[in-house]
Amino acid sequence: MKTPEQGVDEAVLALLRCPGCCGPLVPAEDPSKGLDCAGCAVRYPLRDGILILLPEEALPLA
């Protein structure tokens, strides 16, 4: 049983694509923070264990 603190399950991660560029997503350095897209330089946040995979909710990466 996964908890939100562990981030997105690897099997789920393998199926996900960035809604902006259809590229692969990688876990943030702290996996509980969400998933990053290198191509778009954005982070899709993980809130209460729910991945917010929406371009308008994506956070710009520094």
- Return residues touching Zn ion (CB under 5 A): 18, 20-21, 23, 37, 39-40
Nearest to residue 53, comparing CAs of 15, 6, 17, 14? 17
Q: Which is nearer to Zn ion, 37 or 53 (CB)?
A: 37
Query: In 1-62, at which residue ranges do the beta strands (DSSP E only) sit?
Result: 26-27, 34-37, 42-47, 50-51, 59-60
Q: Which is nearer to Zn ion, 2 or 17 (CB)?
A: 17
Nearest approach, Cβ of residue 59 and Zn ion (Å): 13
Q: Which is nearer to Zn ion, 16 or 31 (CB)?
A: 16
